[in-house]
Amino acid sequence: MPLTALPKAGRNADSIKKDLQNFRQADANWRDGRTFSLVFNPGEEAVAIAKHAYCEYFSENALNPSAFPSLRKMEQDCVAMTANLLNGNKKTCGLMTSGGTESLLMAVKSARDWGRAKGITEPNIILPISAHPAFHKAADYFGVEMIVTPVTESGCADINAMRGSINTKTIMLVGSAPSYPHGVVDPIAGIAKLAKDKELLCHVDSCIGGFILPFIEALGRDVPSWDFRVDGVTSISCDLHKYAYAAKGASVLLYSDEKIRRHQYSVYTEWSGGIYASPSVSGTRSGGAIAAAWAVMNFLGYDGYLDITRRTMECVDKIRKAVGAMEDIRIIGDPQSSILALYSEKLCIFTIGDELQSRGWMADRQHMPNSLHLTISQGHAGREQEFIDDLQWALDRTRRAKMREYSQRMQVSASGKLAQWLPDGAISKIQNLFSGKNAPAVPKRSAAVYGMLASIPERGEIKELVKDALDKINSPA
């Protein structure tokens, strides 16, 4: 039952604990290694020390670093350890934020104010279509235009397209290491050189890759240069709550120079409460998240991350090899990292996703092209054979279903997270969108919502539909 008010009298702790247990029944089953992205599980011991640290600093607040020198020390340690891992030098500096989104918001805010100082009042940033949506959130918030460029066949940023988009109002170029959708590292050296030649900033989004690519490289695998060793890179974002296996709420944003970081700060001197200064979006900041990140980084150490990465990449290799031997399915591009996007020319990949989901595997649906997203991490090591068997099973079922030809009936129920939240009437709205004169036919093989959404030309309409869905998610059941 949804609550509509505070309970009049407080409840006893045991009944609350029981509720907390029960609420999770319908949650994604990450403990079995069947959930991709969302949860990064370093194993029991590392989780235990992270939890200990989190609880130890549960109440402390990093809003005021002079009140809690402990947090300031741990934050600076986390920044320094990350900067060292990403080959920063003496001038490299940074800050912690609550996550990748906040890091990207701040990188854009710094760039905007850096541009303003040069007299650019209507700035734009050039980024590939594979760059994370947080850049577009930053555009929404900070009034910076995002100029989106295509990616090449292999899913990598297209430098020529980026070069062609630069104009007098451009302030920054963006590349990802790797991109979230396809796990491929953009040609950072080329992007950074272009930025430097044009006197622009260059941000590398290694939110997901920052704590795995250095170890993949250390294992002797091929990784194109992407970190501070690349001349022209001016900032890098790196989430600790992904492959550093920290508690959620921890990311690092690094700059090549303090002069750029300075543009990130917000200071208000006229408040009756005193002078208020904060480096990032958040005011109050969780001491727990900082302490947990510090603790887990110290617990695992360089060798621990190297071991985890070795196990993770063995799992990735096995899945890649198995997929390579399967018919009608392949991996997009040649990802250097631990992220794979599964693609099928012949079969509906979303139906394959639905079949996998029926066996408990949660893989995100992606489009342009339609694919399934697998972020593989330590929590999946040892589960790869189960996944491979289930993927083969899902392929066979999808193939058989195709041979029977799908009925015209809408296959909506199992098509993933968004579908579940689409409000009543959304499906008919979507269908109506197909009735315009330039509209494509309703996809024949599967009318799964994602497939349909992907082929609707009116992107604005989809935005409104998704906002309807958000309204529904944020209302009581």
Ligand X SMILES: *Cc1c(COP(=O)(O)O)cnc(C)c1O
Residues near ligand X (CB under 6 A) are 99-101, 104, 132, 134, 176, 180, 205, 207-208, 239, 251
Residue 451 · residue 348 · CB < 8 Å: yes
Shortest distance, position 351 Cβ to ligand X, whole Å: 26
Between 102 and 390, name the residue whose CB sits nearer to ligand X.
102
Shortest distance, position 109 Cβ to ligand X, whole Å: 15
Between 207 and 352, name the residue whose CB sits nearer to ligand X.
207
Residue reference for tokens 């036919």: 441
Shortest distance, position 326 Cβ to ligand X, whole Å: 27
Between 78 and 452, name the residue whose CB sits nearer to ligand X.
78
CA 152, 156, 159, 164 torsion-angle sign: positive
Residue 358 · residue 423 · CB < 8 Å: no
In 3-state terms the chain splits into helix, strand, coil percentages (rounded to 5) of: 45, 15, 40
Shortest distance, position 443 Cβ to ligand X, whole Å: 28
The token duo for 467 is 């906002």
Q: Is 2 left (phi over 0), alpha (psi -120 to 50) or beta?
A: beta
The candidate with the shortest Cα–Cα distance to 254, out of 88, 474, 475, 422, is: 88
**Burial status of residue 445 (CB atoms within 10 A of its CB: 0-12, 13-18, 19 or more):** middle
Residue 290 · residue 55 · CB < 8 Å: no
CB contact burial 198-219 (16+ within 10 A = b; e otherwise): eebbbbbbbbbbbbbbbbbbee
Q: Which residues are CB-neighbours of 259 under 8 A, at least 6 positions away?
A: none
Between 100 and 155, name the residue whose CB sits nearer to ligand X.
100
CA 59, 475, 180, 106 torsion-angle sign: negative
Between 134 and 356, name the residue whose CB sits nearer to ligand X.
134
Q: Is 339 left (phi over 0), alpha (psi -120 to 50) or beta?
A: beta
Quickly count helices (H) and strands (E) in the chain.
Answer: 16, 13
Shortest distance, position 148 Cβ to ligand X, whole Å: 15
Between 289 and 347, name the residue whose CB sits nearer to ligand X.
289
- Measured at CB, which residue is nearest to ligand X? 100
Shortest distance, position 106 Cβ to ligand X, whole Å: 12
Between 207 and 433, name the residue whose CB sits nearer to ligand X.
207
Shortest distance, position 170 Cβ to ligand X, whole Å: 21
Between 337 and 398, name the residue whose CB sits nearer to ligand X.
337
Cis before 150 (ω within 30): no
Residue 294 · residue 250 · CB < 8 Å: no
Shortest distance, position 227 Cβ to ligand X, whole Å: 15
| Inter-axis angle of helices 287-325 and 44-56, nearest 10 | 160
The candidate with the shortest Cα–Cα distance to 172, out of 250, 80, 82, 255, is: 255
Between 188 and 395, name the residue whose CB sits nearer to ligand X.
188
DSSP-derived letter for residue 453 is H
Shortest distance, position 40 Cβ to ligand X, whole Å: 11
Shortest distance, position 473 Cβ to ligand X, whole Å: 17
Between 68 and 215, name the residue whose CB sits nearer to ligand X.
215
